[in-house]
A and B are shown apart, each in its own frame.
Chain A
Amino acid sequence: MMSFDAPKWDVLVIGGGHNGLVAAATLAKSGRKVLVLEAAGEVGGAARTEEFAPGFRVSTAHLLNRLHPEVVKTLELERHGLVFSGITSTPAPSPQGGGESGVGSVHRETSTALAEAAPTSPSPLSGGARGVGIRFAPSVALSRDGEPLTLHGGYGESLSGASASEQAAWQELRAQLLRYAGILKPLLARRPPDLGNMSLMESSAFAVTGLSLRRLGKEDMRDFLRMLLMNVSDVADEHLEDDRLKGLLAFDATLGSHLGPRSPTSLLGLYFRLAGEIGGQAGAQALPVGGMGAVMASVLRAAQAAGVTIRTDASVAKILVEKDRAAGVALDGGEEIRARTIVSAINPQNTFLDLVGTREIDTGFVRRIKNIRMKGDAAKLHLALDRPLEFSGLEAAGHRGRLVIAPSSDHVERAFNPAKYGEFSPEPVMEITLPSLSDPTLAPDGACVLSAVVQYAPYALKEGWEAGRKRFLAAIMAQLELYAPGVGRLVRHAELLTPADLEARYRMPGGHWHHGELQADQMLMSRPAFGAAGYDTPVAGLFLCGAGSHPGGGVSGVPGLNAARRILEMRG
């Protein structure tokens, strides 16, 4: 099937994940006619809220810790329902609303409207913009037999459950880590430096980083450079005593990567976390009311308000390249849609190897794209529980935080060891949230949702996930039982998404939410690979804007925003 309409789109965005929507909205605001093509039935990618058991809903991405303030500002997300006011570091009552504001429900309407062929006029949202309250969630290092340790505010502004000397040591280390993450922060926000031909603006921005480095003072600068490629375990050992705290840092630094805390460069993962911010607070995190879906809804509203048209169930089969230029896309059904600029918010490997095809790009570039490491190591567990869960030794407020089972750095390292050889951790480490405590609409009355990111679950499990899934679930449940005795009896339904499932559901190759390991060799101008690191690609008119691009994954919107800015700069 061919559409013979004159090209009516300026920009096609492939993939309606949050970065795709951010790029689309930003470009639409410049007056471009933008069409987002989403393969799934609804937008939002891994941040969408989905029902996993009757009456139980959850988002695979369950925490907000790096939505970039410039994204919030550019898209005017607060005007579209994201509320940043009322942030406190103690649990605050949930703002009213929520219910229908999930992306799912918003989207069902738009997709119906679209199916009825009114693609240029997004339907007005029923219910209008609702407030999405955000407050900091504490991080809790759970303990089996003693008191848990809690980091309050922006990544442990204050610490409870630790000795006075440990608190002092932590404050010193925390300040140092935040200082150093602050140096990297601008690099993780802007387009990566293009060493070949840097514009004056870029070089001056780079110079600012150099300047801030100088401003650290000699001793601090030396330490910054010394620590840059260290492993998190050694850094923690230099300062801290408490195994719970060291375990938490080890977990946070390695979360979402194929690294153990003793792997060289693992500290970078912690810097990456601390370079994120929420409500102006570095390292802070929030469990958004309405789930991640509510955040996505505000992004969607912003996109639609800017005039973006969204088509769901529109899977792109091919990026059309004509005379060395991206000219449009062909959908699975054969329909061709043409535009001046094609923006891919999906995985870089899929983009180049599957959609563009190796016929249109250079062998050396194919080599680099193919070599991107992206085998995920994290699984996602969703439990539908009969009633709210109680973790031993944890007071009620603590349950609304991010609960981490990582009793020591050694424990995390031991959990990682088998993953190197294609086996899952027999005693996995995990990050747990109970999102229904903050947003009761996610579960039926009185019931509870448990959402956990569990490591390590190697994508290429030797025995295969068909066979391994049940055993891994049992291993996870055994760990949970140690920290929340009786949890097993509360489980109405368990959904375990292995990396293989995440890959299939969200079209994330390797089930890797960063769409490419976030390690030193795959960052900055090497992300996703040399030749496509600045969002523009070897194929003229084709841009990347997803997590596979700099700075990486997490719900930040930065790749989407940077890509859009690059397109505007290049007049694409």
Chain B
Amino acid sequence: MSKTAVKPIAEQPTVRPLHSPAQLHFRTLRLDTPFQPRIDTLMKTNDWYDWGGYRAPASLWDEELEYFAIRSQAALFDISPMTKYRIEGPDAETFLNRLTLRDVTRLKSGRVHYTAWCDDAGHVLDDGTLFRLAETRFRLCCQERHLPWLLDSAIGFDVTVSEETEAVAALALQGPTSFAILREAGFEGVERLKVFDLADFPHGDGSVTISRTGFTGDLGYELFMPVELALSLWDRLMEAGQSRGIRAIGYTALNRARLEAGLIVANADFVTAEHAIRADRVRMPDEIGLGFMVDLEKGYFNGRRAIVEARAKGRLQHVLVGLEIEGNIPAEHAIVYHRKRKEVGLVSAAIWSPMAKRNIALASLVRPYGDTISDDLWVEIYAMRELKYERLMKRAKVVARPFVKLDRRTASPPPEF
């Protein structure tokens, strides 16, 4: 026999897979959230979409009725896929002040603010909500993932930044009866939460952080909890809300409500700087309606030099506006024209608003249109009618946002319906 014969199996080295569990992520193409067992039970439409790698409902049973649950009852929406970062340490405030546009020294413990952050060139990386959980502890919630950026931004600061998207489950409870449901569920003292307040409440053998925030422009709350408490909290709310019309909803309904509230969605209404491939797609805060956040008095922050220079040199090219469009056909992704001829922008989101009884839209326009020239704007809507496009040229008017303003959102104490 040849001396180079193959060795018996027993003598061959064992081949071990070289993959770490993290490298096998692709085998689970969409993750489940901690609420999945409950959502799966309620899911009638099988209408799923991908939210940051999670299997999330676009609708559960009827998107029209889900929308009206937000406006007339209470809607329960799983926001666990939202990206969440825990930011903690003696320099947490300074770190966040350098990172984000608004002045974090003015954000008191127990408060939340809506903010955004930019890269060196002053282009918006994302917008999100910043929760000040304690003097030196924050939670930053947003659409996209930013850990490398946050960690590199932490160089030179005594702060730790950790990703807690998977560790923290979250729910939005929105709608006129949301406060009554929380009270009914026994969250004592929740009536003291003013809009943008947050506090911890006991639940099970732990606690849940409830903030009076939301993405609907309505009276509403967001609840954050460790994943172990997720299902019991869901059940507690559902039980307490039975007589108050609580309904689980999907994103389609929420998307209508947020548009009525005039709120923008990253990578829907603007392209975030790290996702933009084409050089002209990035946006500065002033170009997407976030200029109000830019605080030039608070000291340096990422993108400040670029923003100041762009403002000084008139280099802001775009503007994001609210439009009211004649008729009742949503102008989704319609092109905006000046005098019906000159192309000046694009609609990023549009619905016929049941609350405002108006045809509303968000659009990005090329300045000076929407900025100094706002008359004679038109949108071109292609409505597919039985395999034929009906081309409509509809007059559009720049209007203030929000399109729908509800007193109950900010009323204190919160009204009970």
Contacts and interface: CB of A to CB of B under 8 A. Distances in A.
A363 B152 contact: yes
B94 A359 contact: yes
A353 B156 contact: yes
A100 interface: no
A327 B303 CA distance: 20
B120 A364 contact: yes
- Chain B CB count within 10 A is highest, among A359, A363, A366, for A363
A363 B117 CA distance: 11
A31 B119 CA distance: 39
B126 to A, nearest CB: 13
Nearest to A361: B300
Interface in A351-374: 353, 357-367, 370
B156 A538 contact: no
Nearest to B118: A362
Interface string B89-130: 000001000110000000000000000000110000000000
Contact of B157 (A358, A362, A370): A358
A365 B120 contact: yes
A324 interface: yes
| A contact face: mostly helix, strand, loop, or mixed | helix
A542 to B, nearest CB: 12
- Chain B CB count within 10 A is highest, among A357, A359, A362, for A362
Given A324-B304, A364-B119, A359 B152 contact: no
B300 A363 contact: no
A203 to B, nearest CB: 22
Contacts of B149: 363
Nearest to A353: B156
A370 B155 contact: yes
Contact of B299 (A359, A363, A367, A531): A359
A321 B300 CA distance: 10
Given A363-B120, A364-B119, A366-B152, A358 B305 contact: no
B302 interface: yes
Nearest to A363: B153
Interface residues of A, number: 17
B156 A362 contact: no
A321 to B, nearest CB: 8
Contact of A362 (B120, B299, B308): B120
Contacts, number: 46
Nearest to A359: B98
A358 B156 contact: yes
Nearest to A354: B156
Contact of A357 (B99, B153, B156): B156
Nearest to B300: A360
A353 B305 contact: no
Contacts of B152: 363, 366-367, 370
Nearest to A358: B156
B119 A363 contact: yes
Contacts of B299: 359
B120 A353 contact: no
A513 B313 CA distance: 41
B300 A366 contact: no
A509 B233 CA distance: 54
B155 A362 contact: no
A364 B305 CA distance: 13
B114 to A, nearest CB: 21
A538 B305 contact: yes
Given A359-B94, A359-B98, A362-B302, A353 B119 contact: no
Contact of B119 (A362, A531, A538): A362
A358 B98 contact: yes
Contact of A353 (B94, B155, B308): B155
A366 B152 CA distance: 8
Nearest to A352: B156
Interface string B275-317: 0000000000000000000000001101111001000000000
Interface in B124-175: 149, 152-153, 155-157
Contacts of A359: 94, 98, 156-157, 299-300
A321 B299 CA distance: 10
A361 B304 CA distance: 9
Contacts of B308: 324
Interface in A508-541: 531, 538
A363 B98 CA distance: 9
Contact of A324 (B120, B153, B302, B305): B305
Contacts of B99: 363
Interface string A324-366: 1000000000000000000000000000010001111111111
Contacts of A366: 152-153, 155-156
A358 B301 CA distance: 10
A361 B152 CA distance: 12
A353 B149 CA distance: 17
Nearest to A362: B120
- Chain B CB count within 10 A is highest, among A357, A359, A366, for A359
Contacts of A324: 300, 304-305, 308
B304 A358 contact: no
Contacts of A538: 305
A362 B303 contact: yes
A560 B22 CA distance: 49
A483 B157 CA distance: 52
Nearest to B94: A359
Contacts of B303: 362
A352 to B, nearest CB: 10
Interface in B302-341: 302-305, 308
Interface string A397-423: 000000000000000000000000000
A538 B302 CA distance: 12
Contacts of A367: 152
Interface of B: 94, 98-99, 119-120, 149, 152-153, 155-157, 299-300, 302-305, 308
Given A359-B156, A531-B120, 14 more contacts: A321-B300, A357-B156, A358-B155, A358-B156, A360-B300, A361-B300, A362-B120, A362-B302, A362-B303, A362-B305, A364-B302, A366-B155, A366-B156, A367-B152
30 contacts: A321-B300, A324-B305, A324-B308, A357-B156, A358-B153, A358-B155, A358-B157, A359-B94, A359-B156, A359-B157, A359-B299, A359-B300, A360-B300, A361-B300, A362-B119, A362-B120, A362-B302, A363-B99, A363-B120, A363-B153, A363-B302, A364-B119, A364-B120, A364-B302, A365-B120, A366-B155, A366-B156, A370-B152, A370-B155, A538-B305
Enumerate the 4 nearest inter-chain pairs by beta-carbon distance, A residue then B residue, closest first: A358-B156, A362-B120, A364-B120, A363-B153
